[in-house]
């Protein structure tokens, strides 16, 4: 029998866009491709974390990114793949005193996905997976900068799990940078 854990933390690698305010030297390294490259790895880590979680356990998924492709999209894909998962509301995930002191906004319910060559493509973005040209779609042998179906909020994710979208994504927590000494952070408690 596989070893399972009561608690799992998936603090995944990300593009660090939430830390740009406190670490301006990162601006030169940041780009659209970085976020797109991280998405498949983030999803793989989250799925592994779920596989290690015992029934009734708690998993925290976090990034220091504010990019929904690295945040809500990863959480949505995991929820679509495993109906036993539940995304906790902030009131259930954090004690009242902690939540009172955090400066945060709810997770996003929808977002657009940027073209891998966003700057060169004149800022092209996609609302739905169906809008993505075949040449930009990820294949098993892709280089990590192609677009994946799991990056989109449109509820397709290979299942009919959320035919009406995913309004529950507002249960995610986006911690906002409040001064020069702090950064943005994303947290989802499953």
Q: Where are the alpha helices (DSSP H) in 53-149?
A: 72-81, 90-93, 96-101
**Among 20-29, 75-84, 90-99, whose mean pLDDT is lowest?**
20-29
HSE-up of 130 (CA within 13 Å, CB side)?
3
Please answer whether residues 188 and 25 qualify as being in contact, where contact means their C-beta atoms are separated by less than 8 angstroms.
Answer: no
> pTM for the complete prediction?
0.91
Band of residue 155 on the pLDDT scale cut at 50, 70, 90 = low
CA triplet 44, 49, 51: central angle to 5 degrees? Answer: 95
| pLDDT tens track for 31-89 | 888 889 999 999 999 999 999 999 999 999 999 999 999 999 999 999 999 989 999 99
CA triplet 144, 147, 150: central angle to 5 degrees? Answer: 105
Q: What pLDDT shows up at residue 120?
A: 76
Q: Please state, as a whole number, how many other Cβ atoms lie within 10 Å of the Cβ of residue 81.
A: 17
Helix (H) or strand (E) holding 106: strand 104-106
Known catalytic residue at 64: yes
How far does the chain reach from its first CA to its final CA, in angstroms? 23
**Among 9-13, 37-41, 138-142, whose mean pLDDT is lowest?**
138-142
Q: What pLDDT shows up at residue 52?
A: 96
Backbone angles phi, psi at 23, to 5 degrees: -130, 70
Q: Please state, as a whole number, how many other Cβ atoms lie within 10 Å of the Cβ of residue 177.
A: 17
Please answer whether residues 87 and 75 qualify as being in contact, where contact means their C-beta atoms are separated by less than 8 angstroms.
Answer: yes
Higher pLDDT among residues 184 and 142, named by residue: 184
In DSSP terms, 104 is beta-bridged to 175
DSSP secondary structure code for residue 34 in this structure: H
Q: Which of 10, 14, 64, 172 is catalytic?
A: 64
């Amino acid at each position: 029998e596989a070893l399972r854990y009561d608690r799992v933390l998936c603090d995944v690698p990300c593009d660090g866009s939430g830390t740009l305010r406190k670490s301006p030297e990162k601006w030169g390294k940041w780009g659209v491709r970085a976020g797109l490259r991280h998405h498949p790895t983030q999803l793989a880590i989250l799925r592994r974390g779920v596989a290690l979680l015992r029934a009734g356990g708690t998993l925290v998924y976090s990034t220091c990114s504010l990019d929904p492709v690295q945040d809500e999209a990863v959480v949505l894909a995991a929820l679509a793949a495993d109906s036993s998962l539940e995304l906790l509301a902030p009131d259930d995930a954090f004690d009242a005193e902690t939540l009172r002191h955090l400066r945060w906004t709810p997770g996003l319910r929808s977002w657009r996905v940027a073209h891998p060559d966003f700057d060169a493509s004149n800022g092209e973005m996609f609302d739905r997976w169906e809008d993505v040209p075949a040449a930009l779609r990820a294949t098993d042998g892709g280089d990590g900068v192609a677009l994946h179906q799991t990056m989109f909020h449109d509820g397709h994710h290979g299942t009919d799990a959320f035919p009406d979208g995913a309004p529950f994504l507002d249960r995610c927590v986006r911690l906002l940078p409040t001064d020069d000494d702090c950064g943005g952070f994303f947290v989802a408690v499953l």
